[in-house]
Amino acid sequence: MIREPKNPIITTANVKPSHDFLKVDGVFNCGAVKMGDEYLLLCRVAESCAEQPEDAVCIPIYDEVLDGLKLERLARKEIDCLYDMSDSRMIYKKNTGSIRKIKYLTSISHLRLARSRDGVNFTVEEKPLLPFSGRYERWGMEDPRITYLEEEGRYCITYTAVSEVGAMPALLITEDFQNFQRIGCIFPPENKDVVIFPRKIRGLYYAFHRPVPSEIGMPDIWVSTSPDLIHWGNHRHVCGVSEEGWENGRIGSGIPPFWTKEGWLHIYHGADTRNRYCLGAMLTDLENTDKILKKASKPILEPEASYETEGFFGGVVFTCGGVLENSRLSVYYGAADDKIAKAEFSMEEIQQALEQ
Ligand code: MAN
């Protein structure tokens, strides 16, 4: 595995805020695709208020009635008694009994395209790819994945629509990254990390996803099928978190799976209970996609470089996209929830990792 020497390849310094009253907190977790001779990264850009007033903390929220951003004001004098702000990503409401309830996110994310001819030097577009839409995106759009449907010549973009009623996977379809068909939310909350397979199997679309049960069960990876990309069923459990070690907290799909002769190669993330995120690899059966043929026991990428261990939320490598060319897999990943980095793997070394 080779970390790109120019890492991190995209940072907040490369991204213009979407509004003059916002600042960019992070550019990370990007979907990736090669379209013609151009590499496209669809990045998650997280923004918060550029300047906070003395007496309040302001949080940008999309208001679907106004069809624009509004600011939620939390009075500073109330913060200590009402909210737990110890996690840089979210604000919890204190004293809600046994359930730890997220009250706000500290930033709002949108999707932004970055383009490159060489897969390393990217230019980030000046504006969001598309506006927020509807009440389920009030807290933003996160963690996009791109699947090129080989037989149809169109791209599926899955992302997490976030609002106070939950985190839900939503779907956009495009042929050109200019015109989009909004399919809306395809799984109920809480669910994240949806990746659609690039080919149909026995006439059906397939997707891995990650529901979050609140009582029985754990945040594990599941697979479901659909005749039309809208209605999903036939839910099957694929892989659970481990009892101990690097993936004992939560797991979720990363890159849409790659078809190989031996099976679907699936790069995913695993976090421990202390929220350290690594990348793992597994191979699932080409037809019975809930059957794991091989699984690497150790992570294929861990947060070790300083840009991975330090940042908005340190100790995180999180991928949503990669490009496979000539038996080399370029994995684009979010590092510490505020920048984008790249690591290159040969298919041989991934094969070897799957055997161990
Ligand atoms: C969440 C994910 C990502 C993020 C990680 C680490 O579970 O949805 O958006 O990168 O946590 O903070």
* Ligand 1 pocket mutation pick from 158, 191, 318, 319 by most atoms within 8 angstroms of CB: 318
* pLDDT value at 102 more than 90: no
Which residue puts its alpha carbon closest to atom 9 of ligand 1? 143
Smallest CA-to-CA distance from 271 within 290, 297, 252 is with 252
Q: Cα(165)–Cα(188) distance, rounded to whole angstroms?
A: 10
pLDDT mean over 316-332? 97
* Ligand 1 pocket mutation pick from 86, 111, 143, 319 by most atoms within 8 angstroms of CB: 143
353 Cβ contact partners less than 8 Å away, ≥ 6 residues apart: 281, 296, 298, 300
Nearest-atom index, ligand 1, CA of 313: 12
Nearest-atom index, ligand 1, CA of 252: 7
Smallest CA-to-CA distance from 232 within 222, 244, 219, 241 is with 222
Nearest-atom index, ligand 1, CA of 192: 8
Assign 97 a pLDDT band (cuts: 50, 70, 90).
Answer: low
pLDDT mean over 118-131? 98
Nearest-atom index, ligand 1, CA of 277: 6
User: 26 forms bridges with which residues in the sheet?
Assistant: 46
Q: Cα(223)–Cα(238) distance, rounded to whole angstroms?
A: 6
Q: Cα(327)–Cα(348) distance, rounded to whole angstroms?
A: 8
Rg, C-alpha atoms of the chain: 19
Assign 98 a pLDDT band (cuts: 50, 70, 90).
Answer: low
Residues having CB within 6 Å of any atom of ligand 1: 29, 89, 142-143, 192, 277, 313, 316, 318, 334, 337
Q: Out of 10-14, 76-80, 172-176, 186-190, which region has the weakest mean confidence (pLDDT)? A: 76-80
Buried b (16+ CB within 10 A) or exposed e, 101-113: ebbbbbbbbbbbb
92 Cβ contact partners less than 8 Å away, ≥ 6 residues apart: 83, 84, 85, 100, 101, 102, 103
pLDDT mean over 323-352? 97
Report the share of the chain in percent with pLDDT over 70: 99
User: 58 forms bridges with which residues in the sheet?
Assistant: 73
* pLDDT value at 25 more than 90: yes
Q: Cα(201)–Cα(103) distance, rounded to whole angstroms?
A: 41
Assign 316 a pLDDT band (cuts: 50, 70, 90).
Answer: very high
- pLDDT at residue 94, as a whole number: 86
